[in-house]
Structure 1
Amino acid sequence: MGNPGLDVVNVKADDVTSAHRQAELEAFARDLVAFEPTLIAVESESNEPGFADSGYSRFNAEEDLRVARDETVQIAYRLASEANVERVAGIDVSEGEIRFFPFEDVQAFAKKAGRSAEIDAQVAYFEDKAAAFEEQQSVATVSELLLTVNDPASIESDHRRFYYGMFGFADDQEQPGAPLNYGWYARNAIIFSRLGSVARPGDRVVVVYGAGHAYWLRHFVEETPGFELVELAEYVRK
């Protein structure tokens, strides 16, 4: 919603502070309140005990929802306030023992190998998807848009196309697609481990994160004992 432009392909989001988007966000939040969340995890870094997100302690619904365009405020803080959730955890990590997203190495390999057109085609595919999403904004509600980006089939297809598609950029000297994959896996593994460290038995958790993290975070939830994946579509109406 308040995209800082740091991804390979970025979507231009509507102004979510407009009156009609605020009404739609209220409806979205009401649907999620029915989930009865007890913990909300967001894409911010925290050094506080329990990874407590300091932004929420300063949140003022009347003021912040009128001006902030970030989904952490518009979705996570709004939901926490309306559902009386006391724990909002910033579980993100931006740096680790390895590089988390060395995409430039794949690009450099492709250039040397005369395969830059293949990278360009990958990027173009996601640019087209972004353009289609931007067009969808003119006719769809916030709930419909969020259901679109949380569609399980689309999440899996996009991950396989981009990340697994990078394994093919390799020769007997370099394999830059492998570090791209295990770097992104590593970041999300740490994020999930942080979530696991603050989640308590019986918690009902809402995770508000960038779409690029969805594949691995969903995977960890589905494969880790003690966790159960609940689809957004089970609670949110179009």
Structure 2
Amino acid sequence: MKTCRLIAGLAALMLTPALPAQQPGEMPVPTKVMIVGTMHFANPGLDYRNLAVDDVLAPKRQREITAIVQALSRFSPTAIGVEWRDDAASAAYAKYKNGALPPSRDETVQLGFALAKLSKIDAVHGLGMPADLPFELAVAFAQAHGKQAIIDRVTAVSDKNVAAQEKSLKTKGIAATLRLLNDPVAANDTHSLYRELLKLGAGDDQPGLEATATWYRRNLGICAKLMQAIKPGDHMIVFIGAGHLTLMQQCVRETPGFSLIDARDYLPH
């Protein structure tokens, strides 16, 4: 009986809108969130397949980045979220504002910090949630159980995506590549590969499930930090690796009071 009452109480809470009190007839203040999926400018080599980015500190690339930052500023952001841990982001941004941060090729600095400073934002929110994806166990299972074709498909799609991104970067520039990365249909096609990993397992041995669950948990953690950082009425831009785009957009769409803004509506052509 206690369990039933607890479930009923939780259900009642879930049905109660968690919105700020408003005067009769007053419209809710919209909270807008833009997720900008990016490639890794500094080539850290942390993904399954990695896009090689030339020196973004070169004058040509700096002009492109400046144009991107100025275009995004039209959204009038009041908050910036980045993929770094909060303490690291806060300390580095404080130095950046004072001109004391050494030159950095990282997209957090080049895009997130630059836009925050241009928008006169006092601090950035570090939303990073590092996690070790146990992908190797899924690969080992595939090799041992005649399911290498699943890993080959993941590799082929990843290689195809990286090739398209490298071509875009070389021929069209950073903004065009960001527009490519922020196509939600293409991003979801790539994200669906995690469903393929779920096929790798049998009985209680579920390495594909473990890899996928770790990825989902990481993104849920980033979503939680976003919701804890944002305030009603904010215009928040989150800069994050493009692989997170599908789940982070889902986070925003499914959160009451949030409005998802398509980054492509602001990125320059």
Q: Which residue of 2 aligns with 1:72?
A: 108
Q: Which residue of 1 aligns with 2:8?
A: none
Q: Which residue of 1 aligns with 2:79?
A: 39
Q: 1:105 to 1:4 in 2, by over 3 A?
A: same
Q: Is contact 2:83-2:128 (8 Å) kept?
A: yes
2:124 is paired with a residue whose SS is strand
Alignment of 1:210-221 (within 5 A): 210-221=241-252
- The runs of 5 or more residues in structure 1 that have no matched partner are none
Matched, 1:92 2:128: yes
Q: Which residue of 2 aligns with 1:59?
A: 96
Q: Give a deviation string over 1:83-127, Cα, whole Å, max 9, x none.
A: 1111201111225xxxx5221121111111022243133213211
Alignment of 1:107-126 (within 5 A): 107-126=139-158
Q: 1:148 to 1:103 in 2, by over 3 A?
A: same
Matched, 1:12 2:87: no
How many residues align? The count is 229
Matched, 1:153 2:161: no
Q: Which residue of 2 aligns with 1:82?
A: 118
**1:189 partner amino acid:** L
CA distance in 1, matches of 2:157, 2:267: 28
The 10-residue stretch of structure 1 (174-183 or 104-113) with the greater mean CA deviation from structure 2: 174-183
Q: Which residue of 2 aligns with 1:181?
A: 212
Per the TM alignment, residue 132 of structure 1 is displaced from its structure 2 partner at its CA by 2.2
TM-score normalised by L of structure 2: 0.80
Q: 1:62 to 1:46 in 2, by over 3 A?
A: closer
Per the TM alignment, residue 157 of structure 1 is displaced from its structure 2 partner at its CA by 0.7
Alignment of 1:152-231 (within 5 A): 152-160=184-192, 162-231=193-262
CA distance in 2, matches of 1:135, 1:112: 36
CA distance in 2, matches of 1:75, 1:229: 20
Q: Is contact 2:82-2:238 (8 Å) kept?
A: yes
**1:204 partner amino acid:** H
**2:245 partner amino acid:** A
CA distance in 2, matches of 1:201, 1:90: 19
Q: Is contact 1:9-1:127 (8 Å) kept?
A: yes
2:209 is paired with a residue whose SS is helix
Q: Which residue of 1 aligns with 2:7?
A: none
CA distance in 2, matches of 1:166, 1:184: 11
Per the TM alignment, residue 43 of structure 1 is displaced from its structure 2 partner at its CA by 0.8
CA distance in 2, matches of 1:136, 1:198: 34
Q: Is contact 1:64-1:73 (8 Å) kept?
A: no
2:259 is paired with a residue whose SS is coil
Higher RCO by CA contacts (8 Å cutoff, separation 6 or greater): 2
Q: Is contact 1:38-1:87 (8 Å) kept?
A: no
Q: Which residue of 1 aligns with 2:172?
A: 140
Per the TM alignment, residue 230 of structure 1 is displaced from its structure 2 partner at its CA by 0.3
For the pair shown, the structure with the greater C-alpha radius of gyration is: 2
CA distance in 2, matches of 1:205, 1:60: 19
**1:73 partner amino acid:** V
Please identify runs of 4+ aligned residues in structure 1 that moved more than 3 A. Answer: 60-65
TM-score normalised by L of structure 1: 0.89
Q: Which residue of 2 aligns with 1:24?
A: 64
